[in-house]
Structure 1
């Protein structure tokens, strides 16, 4: 089976994109698990969100995570 160069290029870009997305998800999970001020219940909620909605949850964590956590912790 002979692959043309364009197919190989698309395959490599696709694999690179998947690797980047998986890397961001893993980084977000590690940050959530290492966040020292998060109560266990909130930490578990973040983990569930990151696992159930990996791409959307990761974006929410990186964009809004710190401000959401600060707001919740100030209300406690």
Structure 2
């Protein structure tokens, strides 16, 4: 394997580790959100599993906004 191949594999592995870390963080946030109904949690978990990239991006874009978070934005 040449140098370029090694670099590309390293970049791929690093991207995979970053993605898995973000995925685990999204799962933990969904499980820990006490304000969210269990059915809503189930929908979020299924969307993250069914659409790994899109579901995770959607969670961080709109899903994790709790009332405390929105109050902090309003200040």
**TM-score bracket relative to the smaller structure:** 0.7 to 0.9
State the partner residue of 2:55.
57
Which structure 1 residue ranges, 4+ long, deviate > 6 Å from structure 2? none
The reply to whether residue 7 of structure 1 matches residue 5 of structure 2 is: yes
- Structure 1: runs of 5+ lacking an equivalent: 71-76
User: CA-atom RMSD, angstroms?
Assistant: 1.4
Mapped to 2, the partners of 1:35 and 1:26 lie a distance apart of: 14
User: How many residues get paired?
Assistant: 67
Q: Which has the larger radius of gyration?
A: 1
TM-score (norm 1): 0.81
TM-score (norm 2): 0.82
- Structure 2: runs of 5+ lacking an equivalent: 68-75
Mapped to 1, the partners of 2:54 and 2:27 lie a distance apart of: 13
